[in-house]
Amino acid sequence: MNQILIIDDDPAIQILLKRTLHNQGYEVFVASNGEDGLAQARQLRPALVICDWIMPRMNGLEVCRHVKATPELSTTMFILLTSLGSIEDRVKGLDAGADDFVCKPIEMAELQARVRSGLRLHQLSRDLQHQKHLLEMELAEAAEYVRSILPDRMTEPPVTIDARFIPSRQLGGDGFDYYWLDSDHLAIYLLDAAGHGLRAALPTLSVINLLKSRALPNINYYQPSDVLRGLNHTFQMTQRNDKYFTLWYGVYNRLNRQLTYASAGHPPAILFCGTPSSYTDAKLLKTAGLPVGMFLEADYVDACCDVTQSSTLYVFSDGIYEINQPDGSIWGLEPSYP
């Protein structure tokens, strides 16, 4: 049964409204002033509040503002009773959060119709809130799945790897992986699908699972440019809801300490030579290449570099440096490294 709270300092109005609405099958509660009404609203969480505008101590506008500012009452509809009929007064009421008005003297047929309308809106709000909660739960489960397929830290020599994964939203299009192709070759990649949310996460999951299982046909996984070409043929945006992604892919040969890499429109990786306390050089590792999925005829090239003892390789997405500054500018890549 829907609960309705009446807040009015006039006992006659209280009795009239309570009797009328009770006869309509509603559970009705009454408060004689704004403060008591607000306390009851927070306790009862009614579907609808009918509140007089002009009351001593706390008027209807103040009650309305407090109700609308209370998260637990987010679906409660609020009707103001008023003898003030000007446009300016109605604007004040709407700005305070009122959902509807009933003018005095009260016409009962109109009041009952507005109550029915308010209760329908209340139910719609509750349904939307429930659907939002279900969607958030599903997104949380999807985000947990994304995290579950990301690799653990590598702590054993000859290579140690750590990672930080912080989506800008609960679910995003970034993903990465690293694993030994054999005992001597380590594959490392990071991709960033266009957009946010589930639509961006789905192609990322597909790429990670595809590369992890080495399911791309006729591909040399030791040659980064060949991997990018294979992905580009598989994930054309015309067949994938206009979704494309950038990707940096590298293969490290631990025997000759050489890194071979290729990029598909992705920010360059940065190789710092020397120890973290005394870097001697910083190299941007980038190659020409369009994002995967944009054009079927896109081509990719490899580049190589030597990796000296105690070097550190940073692979990242653009979210690490595309940060809005107080002056409205965006922090670029150059300030991100020495």
Q: Nearest 5°: phi and psi at 33?
A: -150, 170
Q: Whole-angstrom Cα distance, residue 82 to residue 85? A: 7
27-53 residue pLDDT tens: 999 999 999 999 999 999 999 999 999
pLDDT over 60 (residue 337)? no
251-262 residue pLDDT tens: 999 999 999 999
Rounded percentage of the chain residues whose pLDDT exceeds 70: 92
pLDDT at 161: 95
- The β-bridge partners of 3 are 27
Are 93 and 53 spatial neighbours (Cβ–Cβ below 8 Å)?
yes
pLDDT at 169: 66
pLDDT at 318: 80
Confidence of residue 89 (pLDDT cuts 50, 70, 90): confident
Instruction: Characterize the bridge pairing of strands 27-31 and 3-7.
Output: parallel
Q: Which of 261, 281, 265, 271 is nearest to 318 (CA)?
A: 265
208-267 residue pLDDT tens: 999 999 999 999 999 999 999 999 999 998 776 678 999 999 999 999 999 999 999 999
Are 129 and 76 spatial neighbours (Cβ–Cβ below 8 Å)?
no
Neighbours of 76 (CB within 10 A): 22
Q: State the Cα torsion 134-138-139-144 to the nearest 10°.
A: 140
- Threshold 0.85, pTM exceeds: no
Q: Whole-angstrom Cα distance, residue 170 to residue 140? A: 7
Are 260 and 223 spatial neighbours (Cβ–Cβ below 8 Å)?
yes
Q: Nearest 5°: phi and psi at 198?
A: -65, -35
pLDDT over 60 (residue 6)? yes
Instruction: Characterize the bridge pairing of strands 258-264 and 245-253.
Output: antiparallel
Domains and CATH numbers, the chain: 3-131 (3.40.50.2300), 150-336 (3.60.40.10)
Q: Which position has the higher pLDDT, 198 or 277? A: 198
Q: How many residues does the chain have?
A: 338
158-201 residue pLDDT tens: 899 999 888 766 677 899 999 999 999 999 999 999 877 778 88
Instruction: Characterize the bridge pairing of strands 278-285 and 269-275.
Output: antiparallel
Are 63 and 93 spatial neighbours (Cβ–Cβ below 8 Å)?
no
pLDDT over 60 (residue 336)? no
Per-position b or e across 203-228, b if 16+ CB within 10 A of its CB: bbbbbbebbeeeebeebebebbbbbb
